[in-house]
Every structure is written in structure tokens, then in C-alpha cells.
Amino acid sequence: MPSSIHHVLVSLLICVLWTEPTIAIKQSYIVYLGSHSHGPDPSSFDIESATNSHYDLLGSYLGSTEKAKEAIFYSYNKNINGFAAILDEDEAAEVAKNPNVISIFLNKKHKLQTTHSWDFLRLKSNGGIRKDSIWKRSFGEDIIIGNIDTGVWPESKSFSDEGMGPIPKKWHGICQVDKQNQDKFFCNRKLIGARYFYKGFLASPSGGKGLHSVSFNSARDIDGHGTHTLSTAGGNFVANASVFGYGNGTASGGSPKARVVAYKVCWDSCYDADILAGFEAAISDGVDVLSVSLGGDFPVEFYDSSISIGSFHAVANNIIVVAAGGNSGPAPSTVSNLEPWVFTVAASTIDREFTSFVTLGDNKTLKGASLSELELLPNKLYPLITGADVKYDNASSKDALNCEGGTLDPQKAKGKILVCFQVPDDCHFLCRTHKGVEAARVGAVGIILANSDKDSGSGIQADPHVLPSSYVNFIDGSYIFNYINHTKSPVAYISKVTTQLATKPAPFIASFSARGPNLVEPTILKPDITAPGVDIIAAYSENISPSEQEYDKRRTLFNIMSGTSMSCPHVAGLVGLVKSLHPNWSPAAVKSAIMTTATTEDNTGGPILDSFKEKATPFDYGAGHIQPNRVVDPGLVYDLNITDYMNFLCARGYNSSMLRFFYGKPYTCPKSFNLKDFNYPAITILDFKVGQSINVTRTLTNVGSPSTYTAQIQAPPEYVIYVEPKTLSFNQKGEKKEFRVTLTFKLQSKDKSDYVFGKLIWTNGKNYVVGIPIALNNPH
């Protein structure tokens, strides 16, 4: 009828005219439901029913199951019960009211965060495997390590299956290859599986933009990150690996004979819905270890995080989840991946540096970092000039000093060495290599990056720039600027890169490594541990240049990278070794073994320092630096199981619906459970008052030979700490003993720091030394 057509038109017009600014925008959401009614081993019928129940539920809001099928892009139908769907805000609000819906979240994005490191970790030396090396006992044979990341470059020699036996029977996964795709992706007996999840990225506000020349339908790594991290965890031995000949040697992962699997969830970013799909697949596929070098920008409550929920289900299925602590250091409370069931890794240096020296016209020589293979002509000094002095008239001095794109005048820069400011906190790898590209583009012959932030510590990284380069610390950078200011014709030379080994002190904490305390739950110490994460050489994607700049046409089979993304897979590789030697240990027992055997000393015998050359604390490194050869036989472990983690969530005040995110059935919280008694391998108490005493309990489980242990306390001067009983005897494997620690704040501190630190060690006086960190607040 005409009138009704008119009505439709008018309403459409009204809609366009009046409601456009607030029109319900379609966004992608993750909808969590209660437990699956099927058990842990669903049949294909169970899985199909679960998916159908998702269609029915959403269909009842959208008008039909057809519409629901269109809207839903993931049905989490195996371990995690829920789905991801495109909905408008009103629909999402309606769905949220359904009694079966526990919660509904926006699909948010997450950031991504060689080979000498295994020598530094004492697995090998002089090219051979050390006598006391854990590698004498295991190469991680038949352990399956999954990596949730940007995919993998399958042709890399690190994933060669030479010498690998048949694929373990426990593997249930697939090698997802799209027949239409010409990219020739493949798996083998080393890289036994790969999957890709992009629907959350497509459904994100960017709608999948930002990808060029790349098909979605492949787990191929076009970024390099995933290849680097996966090969660090489980790459095979590759002789004669190097970046431009630097750092040459045998490359390998921590578990060189493990099987590896790539779950590609990161495209331009990594979205929640894809991450969760990756976790769910990994659980069903039968992986033993998951390496997750991802994190959000801000810490979020556990029920609000796909990584928290995915990792909880993984741990409940006996998978050990290792995650990066993040690169937002050195400010306090920057660490992310804060769940007690996750193994969270900080980043520190190894005893190798890639150095290029800057020599100035006054004969002063300064030590910087570089991994550029290009060299200046020898025995020649080049004019030295700052970015600000070669700026275009229309550019600001500040931008030009930072050598930002389009600010530098080639007429002024040509043939000179350019000095550029480098603000470490808001300018990471890509930004640094971009400055190199800018310098090369305007005809500079070399670039010196000068760390411009005295509060960022001495952190400098060796980057594969497209021209001769050196990255110098704040003090040396200031010297260079001062020299330029006070010299008529400043000149300089940048030396060829040299590799320095056995550098001291090492390790020290990387300035970028994110720091505790834990913003979500301060009584759980985070990060848990530190491992090598600066200037790490590992396999790389041949799709991209080592500087990750388009301008750069170089390709390398191996590349150097820094970040907690690099330290995380070192720990994942170590976990693979422990798991292969102790298949029955729980994820918490493996984590405890690695934490209680960690060291807080560096290679000078002094305490591990931070990048300011000050003594580092458990908020920098958790329990300390990994010592792989000690991990196999820790003596005692602080164990935890799923009941403990549920009690932990109870103690955080989670109500029954929040608990259902995590647990497959209703969970009744215990009447009394104190977070202080949560059996974590660290004691962190932050609510002390002057004169107050607090008791905490812990339980040790024997995994070693029969021994009698005594407690040793290193108490901070402000506290008195007693342990009761003071000795514990263990006769059998699996035997458990509880002890109590009484901490009393006795003395107002002269020290104005917010926290003080100590250590509790149980030792049999011989081979077993079981240490945990203590972090206490410092009332003043």
C-alpha cells in the first residue's frame, strides 16, 4: 500500500536524519555461557549440539537461527562454552539478560609484545653440550609446544623434521591448509600442526584493514614475530645460523626435539575472540605447553580477559601456560598477564653484546649497540650533525631532532652522520628502524640514536639498521650533543659491529621489561621469573626485512629481536624439558621448580641489577633468573591445583556467575580461605601496619630423595620473620608438609621505598635449595 511505503520511507529518512549519530553500531562481542553439559571429552554429537544451542540462544534474540548463524563467527563448543558474534549494542544488552549468559564482552585487541642464550643458560659451552646440562637428559622429545602468535614460516630450518620420529599419538590437531591459497603452507613431523583464526580481527572496528598482499587463509607468518618465538621455544638445531654473519653459531629452541604448533591469532593486532579460539583449539589438540607472547595494554580483572579465561581452561587441562610480562617498563605496576595460573616472564640481558663504537673528533670513544652489517669507509671522519640542524624550514626542531619522517632535508644531511633522539618509552623497534630508513633516505651515511630519557636506564638494543648505526645510552648521548655544541666542525666515525662475549654484568633487567607490583591482585607476585629477552637471535619470516621497514629489501633467515616476547618462549622451551622428564607434574609444580631454583645473582657474583645499575627486586624479576640445569631436581615444590585457583577467585570476591567462566560446574566457595595462605611460591603482603604480626601458611610437596630441610630466612631489616616448624623431614615422594611463617613489622624504616624484600629458603644443606621471594610493604 502506498501509505505504508511512504511510512517506510519516512521512517528510513528519520532514521538517517535523526539517529545516525547514535545508530547502533555493530561490534563483535564474546558471549560466555555456563558449563557445557558434555564432559571433558565431547563426542562430535556433543560438539554439534553445543553449537546448535548457541544458534538457538542467539536466534531467539535475532529472530531466527539463520540470523544467528550469520552473526556467530566462533562457537566455543569444546572446553570453553560461549560464542563470538557481531551484534549491535541493543542486541548485546538483550542477550546479556539471558539467565544462561554469564557475561558478554567486546572483542578487544592485544599487542604483540639467538642463539647464544642457551650457552649463557649453561646448556652448552664451546659448541658442545655441557656435562651438567639438562640437555643431557632431555631435548623435550615428544612434548608438544603450541604458540599463540603471528603464525610460522614453515620453510625455516628451525622447523625441519630431520631426525624426528613419528608424530606422537596424543596429537589430535590439524595442519590447516586452504587449497585455494597458493602460499604452499605445510606441516611436517616437527611442525606438526597449524591453525589460523581471523574472524575476531575481521569483526573488529578496523574490519581487518591494515593487511596488504596477504591472504587470511594461512598460518604463514608474514610478520616474523611468531617464527622467532616458536623457534626459541622448540626450534630444531640449525648449524651456522647468524644475522649478517653476526652471532654465528648453532641456533635452537629450549626444547629442540619438541613438536611445535602455530596458532595464528595475530594479524595487525591480536583480538580476544581469536585468542580464545586459539586456546580452545590448543586444548583439544593435545598440546603440553603454550607460549603466549601477547598482552593487553592495561591490566584487567580476570573474568574480563580472554587470556585469563583461555589460560585457566588450558591449565585445568594440565597445559602449562607461559606468557610475556609486557614491555611497558621500567615504571612500577606495568606488568600484565597477572593470573596466578599463568607463568609470567620478565626480560633480561645475556652476556653477549653487539657493539659499534662511536669515535668523535675529540678522540672520545663511546660504546653503542648495533646489528647493521654495513660499514663506513675506514680511517675517515665524517661530518656529524643533529636532526634538528638538518630540518626542513617547515618542520619543528623537536620532530627533526627525533628524525621523524619528512622532517629532514637531504641537501643538509647528505654525506653526514646524523644524531637523532630516541625516546625509549614511546618509541620501540619499528620507530627506531624507521629513523634509520629516514636517515638513509636523505643520504646520511650513518645514524647515531641517543637515548633521550635519563629515567629509562641504560637500555639500548642492537637493531639491524639499513645503514651504519649506533644506539648510545643517555649519558653518552649527552656527551655527543655537548661535543657538537662546542665544536666548530664536529666529526665522528661509527665502527663496524663487533660481537662481545662474556660481558659483565649479565643478566641485568631490560629497561623495557614491565614491573610489579601486580595491579589486579597485589598479593600475587608478578612477574614470576626472568629469562633472556634482549638481542635474541632466532628464526624469522622471509616475507619481511629484519628492520620491518618496507624500504629495506634485505631478507634474513634469522633475526635479532628484544622483548618479553623473546624471554617468554625461553621459559616455554625450558618447561618442555621439565615436562618431558616429569610428565606427571602439575603446571604449578613445573612452575614452582623453575622459580625456586632461580638465581638472583649475576655473572659477577653480585645481585642482579636493573638497567639503572641499581639492585633489582622481585618486582623486576619475580623469583630471579632461570637456571635450567637445576630445575630437574628441585627437591620440593609449592603445588597448586584447580581447587586452589577457584578458592583464589572466591577470595577475590567472585560470585557464582563469575566463577562459572572458569569452572565447568557450580563451585561452592570454602567458608574461610585467606589469600595470604594461597600456596604460591612467593610471599607478598602489602597491608602491614607498624607493630603488626601476620601469619601465613604454605605447603611443600616432596619430589626429591628423602631429606631433612631447615628454613633460612633473609628478612629485610624492618621485619622479624619466624618459620614454624624450623625443620621438615620428607621420606616419600608426594609427601606434603605444612609450615607457618610469622612476619612482624618492628621498625620504622629510614628507607623511603614503598616495599622491602627478603627470601625464604628451605635447604637440606646439600643439593636442594628451595628459595622463594618475600615482598612486604614498608609503612612510613
Ligand X SMILES: *[C@@H]1O[C@H](CO)[C@@H](O)[C@H](O)[C@H]1NC(C)=O
CA nearest to 89, candidates 151, 162, 156, 29: 29
Nearer to ligand X (CB atom), residue 66 or residue 162: 162
Q: Which is nearer to ligand X, 265 or 642 (CB)?
A: 642
Q: How far is the CB of 555 from ligand X (least distance, A)?
A: 12
- Nearest distance from residue 759's CB to ligand X, in Å? 21
Orientation of helix 306-316 relative to helix 272-285, angle to 10°: 10
**Footprint of ligand X on this chain (CB under 6 A)?**
240, 245, 248-249, 362-363, 392, 394, 406, 478, 481-482, 485, 641-644, 655-658, 693-695, 742
Residue 395 C-beta: closest distance to ligand X, Å = 6
CA atoms within a 13 Å half-sphere pointing along the CA-CB vector of 486? 8
Q: How far is the CB of 732 from ligand X (least distance, A)?
A: 17
Closer residue to ligand X in complex, CB, 210/406: 406
Q: How far apart are alpha carbons 665 and 265 in whole angstroms?
A: 29
CB 278 within 8 A of CB 246: no
* Residue 225 appears among annotated catalytic residues: yes
Find all residues with CB under 8 Å of 583, minimum gap 6, and list them: none
Q: Which is nearer to ligand X, 291 or 356 (CB)?
A: 356
Q: Which of 53, 565, 567, 707 is catalytic?
A: 565
Could you tell me which residues come within 8 angstroms of residue 183 by beta carbon, excluding any fewer than 6 positions away?
215, 218, 220
Catalytic choice (149, 351, 389, 620): 149
Please give the C-alpha separations between residue 272 and each of 53, 204, 294, 406, 485, in angstroms, as whole numbers.
22, 10, 11, 36, 50
User: Is 565 among the residues known to form the active site?
Assistant: yes
**CA separation for the pair 613, 297 (Å, rounded):** 27
CB of 459 to ligand X, least distance (A): 20
Question: Does residue 328 contact residue 334 with C-beta atoms inside 8 Å?
Answer: yes
C-beta closer to ligand X: residue 430 or 501: 501
Rounded Cα distance between 84 and 94, Å, is 15
Distances (CA, A) of 592 to 92, 597, 700, 765: 41, 8, 10, 20
Q: Which residues pair with 736 in a beta bridge?
A: 701
Taking the least distance from each CB to ligand X, the nearer of 40 and 606 is 40
Q: CA separation (Å) from 117 to 146, 166, 428, 501, 538? A: 21, 29, 22, 11, 10
What is the C-alpha to C-alpha distance for residues 275 and 272, in angstroms, rounded to an integer? 5
Catalytic residue from among 36, 110, 116, 225: 225
| Collapsed DSSP state (helix, strand, coil) of residue 209 | coil
Beta-strand ranges (E) seen in 293-408 are 294-295, 320-324, 343-348, 352-360, 365-369, 382-386
Least distance between ligand X and beta carbon 638 (Å): 11
| β-bridge mates for residue 105, sequence order | 30
Closer CB to ligand X, 362 or 751, in the complex: 362
Whole-number Å distance between alpha carbons of 680 and 338 = 13
For the bound state, the minimum distance from the C-beta of residue 525 to ligand X, rounded and expressed in Å, comes to 20
* Degrees to nearest 5, angle at CA 422 with 417 and 428: 120
Residue 214 or 475 with smaller CB distance to ligand X: 475
Report whether 248 contacts 215 (CB < 8 A). no
Which residues are part of the catalytic machinery?
149, 225, 565
